[in-house]
Amino acid sequence: MNALTTNQQTIPTMTDEAVDAVRRVEGIIATCPQLPVLTRHILHGGMYSRTVTIPKGAVFTGTLIEVPTILIVNGHATIFIGEESITVEGYHCFAAAVGRKQAFILHEDTTFTMIFATNAETVEEAEEQFTDEAHILASRLPDSQNIITITGE
């Protein structure tokens, strides 16, 4: 595990083997009780953002990301980024590549915001655009909580 340096500003595409490792973790997590997650969505000016805050002690995985994004992390987390894990503390903004599926361990409550360019007009369209795994997103679970802002700009 490497401590994050100020030079680390990108999250790379992950190998198939690394993605498979996250899928195995995801399978284990799926057998555990799931935390309710509030997702804040914004569609504005040709951009989509989604923000979640995950509590300290949680372990979670993301979906396989199909578009380049900006990922903002604010808190304290260990993030599996492929061949290695990085630990971040505080506020970090990453250029995040296509073809990644991260696993996260939260050491403190941590907020994640993902942003990407889109022509979507609904949250569902945006979710389908960034991943082929939209059906497993926390925002789609039966007990999900979503706050949606669509400006039309």
- Is 103 part of any domain? yes
pLDDT tier at 33, thresholds 50, 70, 90: confident
- Is 1 part of any domain? no
Per the structure, the count of domains in the chain is 1
CATH code, domain with 71: 2.60.120.10
Residue 26 lies in domain: 10-150
Residue 1 has pLDDT above 80, yes or no: no
- Is 78 part of any domain? yes
- Is 4 part of any domain? no
pLDDT of residue 87: 94
- Is 121 part of any domain? yes
- Give strand ranges (E) for the chain: 2-3, 10-11, 38-44, 47-54, 59-61, 69-80, 85-96, 103-106, 110-117, 145-150
- Is 101 part of any domain? yes
Least confident of 5-14, 71-80, 98-107: 5-14
| Mean pLDDT value across residues 46-61 | 96
The chain-wide mean pLDDT, for the chain, equals 92
Q: How many helices (H) and strands (E) does the chain have?
A: 2, 10
